[in-house]
Amino acid sequence: MKILKSIFDNNREWADKISKEQPDFFDQLSKQQNPEYLWIGCSDSRVPANEIINLPPGEVFVHRNIANVVVHTDLNCLSVIQYAVEVLKVKHIIVCGHYDCGGVTAAMEKKQHGLIDNWLRHIRDVYRFHAKELDGIEDFEKRKDRLCELNVVEQVENICNTTIVKNAWQSNQLLSVHGWIFHLKDGLLQDLDVTTSSLP
């Protein structure tokens, strides 16, 4: 008996469907990737990058972690950004958060969650930077939504401050960094209007 057979069945069905529609698709795909977008999003299973922007394999370079955080010293995320910017020469980096983010909710709670609290610390920092605004929002749900948005804005700032992006702009490479948020309730994306395309 094949382990997780249904998943392999799904995979075959998917590959067959694409091959039927575009017979040379996988042949082309195996030769190179040429994505224009780097997507940095949350690991949440409800926010699958390619699917929600309706783009096929080969179009989006993806990095996901809990609560779409870009930490200055995270070699994993920084390596993804470096490869995307310097080798793939993506034109857009998109930080996409989402409302009802479990990581953001956990960061707002007083109780401990174990190891992950050390990661969520970064979101607590975002809260601290914006405590005045956030503390002024009485409704917990609304405050949480706002922290989800502010978290994206802060991560855009962090990306813009990496040596990788600064160097790209210094050498006039075409590159924009965007902050978006995804509504789980209707599947729609919203631009948070913090797009940055050059050094300040």
Residue 158 CB partners (closer than 8 Å, separation 6+): 70, 71, 72
User: Per-residue x/- mask for Co ion, residues 29 to 48, rule CB under 5 A?
Assistant: -------------x-x----
DSSP-based three-state secondary structure for 153:
helix
CB of 100 to Co ion, least distance (A): 8
Q: Is 74 a catalytic residue?
A: no
Query: Counting contacts by CB under 5 A, is residue 101 touching Co ion?
Result: yes
Q: Are 105 and 147 in contact (CB under 8 A)?
A: no
Q: Are 102 and 131 in contact (CB under 8 A)?
A: no
Residue 86 CB partners (closer than 8 Å, separation 6+): 164, 168
Query: Counting contacts by CB under 5 A, is residue 84 touching Co ion?
Result: no
From the list 63, 77, 92, 98, the catalytic residue is 98
From the list 77, 96, 101, 160, the catalytic residue is 101
Q: Is 98 a catalytic residue?
A: yes
Query: Counting contacts by CB under 5 A, is residue 145 touching Co ion?
Result: no
Q: Is 24 a catalytic residue?
A: no
Q: Which residues bind Co ion (CB under 5 A)?
A: 42, 44, 101, 103
Which residues are identified as catalytic? 42, 44, 46, 98, 101
